[in-house]
Amino acid sequence: MSQKNYYYLDSSVLLEEDFYRTLEALWGTDNCSVMDAHIHREIEVYRGLGKLEEALTLESYVDLLGPLKGTVQVDTAGGFDADALAPLAKEKLFVLTQQQKLVDNFASLGDAVAFLSFDGEGLVPFSGSTSINGEAFCPDRDIYVDPLDGDQLTYVYSPRYGYLKLDKSKEYSGGEGVCYRTYNGMLCKLYYKKHITYVNFKKLQTMVNMRCSNPYVSWPLDILYYRNQFVGYLMQELTDTRSLDELRDDNFSGFRLLDRFIIVRNFLSVIEYLHGRGILVGDMKLDNVLVKPNCDVHIIDAGSFQVQDYACNVCHKEYTERVYTGDDLKHILRCEREEYFPINKIIFEILMMKGPFYSRDNTEIDGDGSRDFSFPLEFSGENAADLPYHMKVWFALSPAMRQYFYRYFTEGKVTYVSEWLRELELYILSKQKQTAANA
């Protein structure tokens, strides 16, 4: 008996235009389609979001492939669990997907699985982001031998905006330097001496030339000099904002529970924009995310982002999975996967207003203690009214969102931003309807 080829058809690939022709070419006696039960949930999500074209496309694939004799039905719990595919991997399994998530989560099946994606014309080997750390640009010698101390200066020069007088009445200090206001709504970030380096100068040059049209990222607008020497960079000042750190200690006062979901969505939209351009925030923490009263979310401190092969030189113990110290910060490029630790932690904190490792037995915030996640996936039927607020919010999340957190914090399985955004969008829509109906 000849070996069978199984083709797992993820909805992401089914939704690609013209994929049908490629699928037709695969039909043959030894080839079987593999359909995931999750597709029905995806159809529901697209329908809920009003994306009827996507819903109908997936439905027609279900109608077409479902009744076929060679089609195999599996349930991978939304792409998290590879067990259902293990028997197929004993023969030959091809996973057709556009999603990094499946490549991560099904990798445990071993060499019998090939991951393919659709490039518009045909199937090609999947080439997504890797979880391997790259090497950062970091020359041994630094050309700035005698850097100036930013807090001694009263004015700086920007080639684009001219001479700028620093308003010294207020300063905002951070890990890498101090920010001062200047005229017409600009902020000057002046580095501490040890950060006035050739690498930072080249990185900022690259960033200024790249430009960034996203208004929710405080991108460097120009490099700042004092007497021809690089001292920092210029950015737009944001007004009427509060940091997530401040809001967290203030119970997000002034925001509804629904608003907190909107804040999460807006935050993830900015992350999607940055990741889509290969940029990592790097030093992602509550202080670097600012929120306006209308729930707009801004990410600041762009000078420390990881851009191209320029590393992020700062790291916050509480918000990283792997603590980078000393030279590592300069030499190692982080990978996108690593950024999902702060992403998951931050959105968890916005929603539950507790850290993900919180429990009655572990009230200490991420000291040297355990990072055990004790929020249960399923509600076990205790008296709902007696639960503390953070547990009520937890169980009020959609089952999919609970699963995203649970799988990440217990198994390290990442749900990427695009999937989070779809789920959040649907959830927000339904709660908006509910809130309007109650009003």
Task: Tell me which residues touch another protein (CB under 8 A).
Answer: 245-246, 248-258, 316-318, 353-355, 358, 360-361, 363-365, 367-369, 378-381, 384-385, 388-390, 392-393, 395-396, 431, 434-435, 438-439
Of 203 and 285, which has the nearer Cβ to another protein?
Answer: 285
The angle, 0 to 180 degrees and rounded to 10, between the axes of the packed helices 257-276 and 336-352 is: 170
**Closest distance to another protein from the beta carbon of 311 (Å):** 21
**Closest distance to another protein from the beta carbon of 393 (Å):** 7
Residue 1 CA: distances (Å) to CA of 29, 31, 73, 172, 381: 12, 13, 22, 72, 51
Strand partners, 242: 291
**Closest distance to another protein from the beta carbon of 326 (Å):** 12
Q: Could you identify the residue written with the tokens 């990222």?
A: 217
Of 410 and 435, which has the nearer Cβ to another protein?
Answer: 435
**Closest distance to another protein from the beta carbon of 418 (Å):** 24
Of 155 and 379, which has the nearer Cβ to another protein?
Answer: 379
**Closest distance to another protein from the beta carbon of 174 (Å):** 11
Residue environment code for 303-323, b if the CB has 16+ CB neighbours within 10 A, otherwise e: bbbbbeebbbbbbbeebbeee
Q: In terms of C-beta distances under 8 Å and separation of at least 24 residues, what long-range contacts does 173-181 make, across chains too?
A: 174/301, 175/283, 175/304, 175/314, 176/303, 176/304, 176/313, 176/314, 177/150, 177/232, 178/150, 178/151, 181/237
Of 273 and 395, which has the nearer Cβ to another protein?
Answer: 395
Of 124 and 365, which has the nearer Cβ to another protein?
Answer: 365
Q: Which residues in 211-268 belong to E strands, given as ranges? A: 222-226, 229-236, 242-243
CA-CA distance, 275 to 417, in Å (whole number)?
9
Assigned token pair, 344: 């998951």
**Closest distance to another protein from the beta carbon of 427 (Å):** 10
Of 128 and 399, which has the nearer Cβ to another protein?
Answer: 399
